[in-house]
Amino acid sequence: MESRLLLFFHHFIRFFFLLTPFFALSVFLSMTNGVTEGKRKKAALQVTFAVSIICLILFLFGNYIFELFGITVDAFRIGAGALLFLTAISLSQGKGHDISGDANTDIIVVPLSIPIIAGPATIGTILVMSAETTQYVDKILSFSALLVAIICVGIILLLASFLERILHKRGILVLSKLTGLIIAAIAAQMIFTGIRSFF
């Protein structure tokens, strides 16, 4: 039981940082600038729901995607790790993703859900974990950790206005860069594991 809880916590931490919560917060604040507090909270709930559905589909059907395209888990792990490393570099440099549009456009699914929160690297990691997890109990544990991580990101978005007043833009930028460093370490581990297993 204790080992299951530790595994859940490990997966939760991993997913939480992969979802780049602080960068998502900074983008969310900039793209909802000027809207009412009620509309901002509604948008946060919609983004959380959209990301949950996207990640659920990817997690449940990850194995079929690998079989369909004839991709090995190790090859995908290396590819996803490379994308993840590029994301980490962007976050560490304070660049992030290239965003266009304003708060009046439909930003819920694109770009907030994809690619801001569930970016290529996050999607790749979910597919790898889905393919690696074969036991039913472990799949439930892994997806539960993913879902809790998404909910935590959603809570951060719901508290966007409050956090903006406390942290200011500079504080959010610093947290985003720290997230980038953690993601870089996860990416390196994925690549090394993929190369070791491949050979």
Calculate the CA 139 to chain-centre distance: 18
Taking each helix axis from N to C terminus, what angle separates 160-198 and 136-158, rounded to the nearest 10 degrees? Answer: 150
Query: What predicted TM-score, i.e. pTM, was given to this entire model?
Result: 0.76
Cβ-contact 158, 47 below 8 angstroms: no
The pLDDT of residue 153: 96
pLDDT digits (tens, 9 = 90+) for 144-190: 999 999 999 999 999 999 998 898 878 887 887 887 788 788 888 88
pLDDT digits (tens, 9 = 90+) for 74-106: 887 788 788 778 877 877 776 554 444 444 446
Half-sphere exposure of 127 (CA within 13 A, CB side): 25
Give the type of residue at 59. F
Give the residue numbers spanning the domain of 159: 2-198
Number of domains in the chain: 1
Return all residues near 119 (Cβ < 8 A) that are at least 6 apart: 20, 83, 87, 97
Return the percentage of the chain with pLDDT > 90, whole number. 26
pLDDT digits (tens, 9 = 90+) for 8-53: 999 999 899 989 898 889 878 877 877 889 999 999 999 999 999 9
Number of helices (H), then strands (E), in the chain: 7, 0
The pLDDT of residue 46: 93
